[in-house]
């Protein structure tokens, strides 16, 4: 398990954390397996907990989770604000976008002799789930849309996908598995629980467990950066004349004063 500590003391106890996670497991589209007592205690200390689970279908899922000393809404802004970009090696392009739902193209560069991998995903906000849980559970899942990478080829031909040439696109291989979710759970008005999990198989000769292990090793830094952004930058940035961002209802997330 990898861990980093929050600078501020947390109020949530292991029992309270488990109660929120149990509620999430009962209603989630993509639930998480229970966390043992030592991991719940680590979460209560402010540590980032990471692990790789083997699903019943044999696929490997990388999971990162942490208690955050910021409200649920600020963690959401930290992941959704379009001003926060960078830090991801993938090339991305929008295919379709509607309120609470989008279709996205992605590609990752893989060192030779392996071919680059690309995919099309659909992601959505579980708005009804948020309503049924009085806003306690926000789940933002995504799933692969197999065979749809060809939809993006005209955009590539027109030069509309930054960093991607037609030759790169045509030589890339579509990934057979890619799904996961961002999870935002309310612990209190001042604390939230954030989880990020992904199941991916990039195919070919690269073992899925190896990929899951690599993703797991990146999760602690990813989550720590998000917590810092939500705590320190979001209250200063998401205010004034900033365009409001849609939350997990049809309402916009209120700006900071």
Domains and CATH numbers, the chain: 14-237 (3.30.530.20)
Query: pLDDT per residue over 122-179, tens digit each?
Result: 999 999 999 999 999 999 999 999 999 999 999 999 999 999 999 999 999 999 999 9
* Rounded-to-10 torsion of CA 240, 243, 245, 250: 110
Average pLDDT over residues 64-74: 97
- Average pLDDT of every residue of the chain: 92
Q: Is residue 201 a contact partner of residue 174, using CB atoms and an 8 Å limit?
A: no
Q: In whole angstroms, what is the distance from residue 66 CA to residue 4 CA?
A: 10
pLDDT bucket at 113, cuts 50 / 70 / 90: confident
Q: What is the pLDDT of residues 241-253, one digit of tens each?
A: 999 999 998 789 9
| Backbone φ and ψ of 90, nearest 5° | -80, 145
- 210-236 burial by CB neighbour count: b if 16+ within 10 A, else e? ebbeebbeebbebbbebbbbbbebbee
> How much is the pLDDT for 222?
93
| 163-195: b (≥16 Cβ within 10 Å) or e | ebeeebbeebbbbebbbbbbbbbbbeeebbbbb
Give Cα separations from 59 to 5, 108, 198, 199 (angstroms): 30, 20, 10, 7
Report pTM. Answer: 0.92
């Amino acid at each position: 398990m990898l861990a980093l500590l929050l600078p501020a003391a947390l109020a949530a106890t292991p029992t309270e954390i488990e109660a929120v996670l149990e509620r999430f497991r009962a209603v989630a589209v993509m639930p998480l397996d229970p966390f043992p007592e030592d991991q719940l205690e680590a979460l209560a200390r402010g540590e980032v907990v990471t692990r790789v689970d083997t699903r019943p279908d044999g696929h490997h899922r990388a999971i990162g989770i942490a208690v955050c000393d910021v409200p649920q809404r600020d963690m959401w802004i930290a992941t959704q604000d379009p001003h926060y970009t960078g830090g991801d090696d993938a090339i991305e392009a929008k295919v379709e976008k509607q309120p609470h739902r989008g279709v996205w193209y992605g590609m990752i560069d893989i060192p030779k002799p392996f071919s680059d991998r690309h995919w099309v995903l659909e992601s959505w906000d579980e708005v009804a789930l948020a309503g049924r849980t009085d806003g306690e559970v926000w789940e933002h899942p995504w799933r692969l849309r197999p065979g749809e990478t060809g939809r993006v080829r005209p955009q590539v031909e027109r030069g509309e996908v930054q960093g991607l040439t037609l030759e790169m696109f045509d030589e890339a291989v579509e990934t057979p598995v890619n799904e996961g979710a961002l999870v935002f759970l309310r612990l209190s008005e001042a604390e939230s629980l954030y989880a990020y999990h992904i199941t991916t198989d990039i195919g070919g000769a690269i073992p899925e467990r190896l990929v899951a292990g690599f993703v797991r090793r990146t999760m602690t830094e990813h989550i720590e950066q998000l917590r810092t952004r939500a705590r320190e930058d979001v209250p200063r940035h998401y205010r004034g004349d900033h365009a409001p961002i849609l939350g997990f209802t049809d309402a916009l997330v209120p700006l900071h004063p």
